Amino acid sequence: MQIYKVGGAVRDRLLGKPVTDIDWVVVGASTEEMLAKGYRPVGADFPVFLHPKSGEEYALARTERKSGRGYGGFTFHASPEVTLEEDLIRRDLTINAMAEDDHGQLTDPYHGQRDLEARLLRHVSPAFAEDPLRVLRVARFAARYAGLGFTVAPETLELMRQLSESGELEALTAERSWKEISRALMEDQPQVFIQVLRDCGALKVLIPEIDALFGVPQPEVHHPEIDSGVHTLSVLEQTALHKQPLTVRWACLLHDLGKGLTPESQWPKHIAHEHKGLKLIKAVNERFKAPRDCQELALLVGEYHTHGHRALELKPSTLLELLQSFDVYRRPQRFEEFIKACEMDARGRKGLEQRSYPQADYLRGAATAARTVAVQPLLEQGFKGPELGEALKRERLKALKSYKAQTLT
């Protein structure tokens, strides 16, 4: 019985990056031996055990064989006869197919260390093409390590292209897809994730609404980068540079989907793209079963981001309607995330990344002005029910008119 550290822990140590999660593989052991040593079984599909003291996961070395469609379409075989090399060959990338024993001795049968030095994301074997989830995983690793100069090996990109064209991606569950997408959006360069998916043809299968933005022009006066798809990637890049949460990153990814519906005859204008895009945003939200906070912010940003950019021009009554739409009195954080998304949208334009965004503080001030209107005086005047609501609205409008007059004159 031999125990090896495998996968990401080995990869990140060699890269000089912090090691957070450690995966262990046990070679030459049976389920009975693991139980006898006090390990607790947890794997339903294949033998995985929890260490009796540390609680870390230890998996028996195993082989796998394709038996159906999608991520779960595999049968596994684990026995004491399965070698370390056989276990490693079923992994996705060479840089994830290295092992290390307790003496620090490296086992690297598929040249992962060489690919680390060459900054290449390369598949281990042709079996890579049997698992559609690996298309998303490789794109995610590309986003994570782009800053270190990593790229996807051409032959691996070709296999990803074949997978994208095979129909296998459609067998992925919403839950598995969302797990990879959400993790990728939180990487240092999430725009690389989307670009790699597009390069291998997976984007038009998984999120055709985003793929449709590429090649769609916008007015150069507002968008020096012109291309709507390029703009979306730039906005996503800004969300990472400014350490935005997942909700903001997801909303920014989907904010301009309506531009993909504009007839060519109307290019480069996109009249009412905000409203037209809502049905597409809703469809993407539902396809991946995104968490509710992500869904809600994406729809609100899609509908109102132009209002955010025009904040200084908005009439107090329109400003009040905007605040009401966000339920800013009970959910102030959601409005703050909207402001952040608008700012990322404004910065995601070629040559305008560093420009100031005075709309942000103006909108925050407007929200504060509306929230400071007290209810108690209105109750003391005898207002109640619907009449109280209308009176509160009038007072808030009055406060916003005063705020605008004081701020912009």
Domains, in order of start, for the chain: 1-110 (3.30.460.10)
The Cα-based distances of 323 to 146, 152, 318 in angstroms read 39, 45, 9
Contact residues for 232 (Cβ-Cβ < 8 A; gap 6+):
194, 210, 213, 252, 253, 255, 256, 348
Q: Is the pLDDT of residue 346 over 50?
A: yes
Average pLDDT, the chain: 93
Contact residues for 376 (Cβ-Cβ < 8 A; gap 6+):
none
65 confidence band (pLDDT: 50, 70, 90):
low
- Distance from C-alpha of 71 to C-alpha of 69, rounded to nearest angstrom: 7
Residue, of 48 and 77, whose pLDDT is higher: 48
Q: Is the pLDDT of residue 67 over 70?
A: no
75 confidence band (pLDDT: 50, 70, 90):
low
User: What digits encode the pLDDT tens for the residues 196-207?
Assistant: 999 999 999 999
User: What digits encode the pLDDT tens for the residues 206-234?
Assistant: 999 999 999 999 999 999 999 999 999 99
User: What digits encode the pLDDT tens for the residues 272-305?
Assistant: 999 999 999 999 999 999 999 999 999 999 999 9
Residue 201 has what pLDDT? 97
380 confidence band (pLDDT: 50, 70, 90):
confident
Q: Is the pLDDT of residue 69 over 60?
A: no
Residue 1 has what pLDDT? 86
Strand partners, 65: 75
Residue 66 has what pLDDT? 55
CA proximity to 62, closest of 6, 101, 121: 6
Q: Are 150 and 120 in contact (CB under 8 A)?
A: yes
Residue 78 has what pLDDT? 76
Average pLDDT over residues 165-189: 95
Three-state secondary structure string covering the chain:
CEEEEECHHHHHHHHCCCCCCCEEEEECCCHHHHHHCCCEECCCCCCEEECCCCCCEEEECEEEEECCCCCCCEEEEECCCCCHHHHHHCCCEHHHCCEECCCCCEECCCCHHHHHHHCEECECCHHHHHCCHHHHHHHHHHHHHHHHCCEECHHHHHHHHHHHHHCHHHHCCHHHHHHHHHHHHCCCCHHHHHHHHHHCCCHHHHCHHHHCCCCCECCCCCCCCCEHHHHHHHHHHHHHHCCCCHHHHHHHHHCCHHHHHCCHHHCCCCCCHHHHCHHHHHHHHHHCCCCHHHHHHHHHHHHHHHHHHCHHHCCHHHHHHHHHHCCCCCCHHHHHHHHHHHHHHHHCCCCCCCCCCCHHHHHHHHHHHHHCCCCHHHHHCCCCHHHHHHHHHHHHHHHHHHHHHHHHC
- Distance from C-alpha of 57 to C-alpha of 12, rounded to nearest angstrom: 18
Give the lowest-confidence range in 55-59, 106-110, 230-234: 55-59
> How far is CA 2 from its chain centroid?
38
Give the lowest-confidence range in 42-46, 148-152, 234-238, 377-381: 42-46
Residue 151 has what pLDDT? 98
116 confidence band (pLDDT: 50, 70, 90):
very high
Tokens of 89: 């060959």
Average pLDDT over residues 311-322: 97
Range with top average pLDDT, 31-40, 123-132, 308-317: 308-317
- Distance from C-alpha of 247 to C-alpha of 286, rounded to nearest angstrom: 15
Q: Are 252 and 235 in contact (CB under 8 A)?
A: yes
Residue 72 has what pLDDT? 52
Residue 44 has what pLDDT? 66
Q: Is the pLDDT of residue 396 over 80?
A: yes
Q: Is the pLDDT of residue 248 over 90?
A: yes
- Distance from C-alpha of 34 to C-alpha of 27, rounded to nearest angstrom: 11
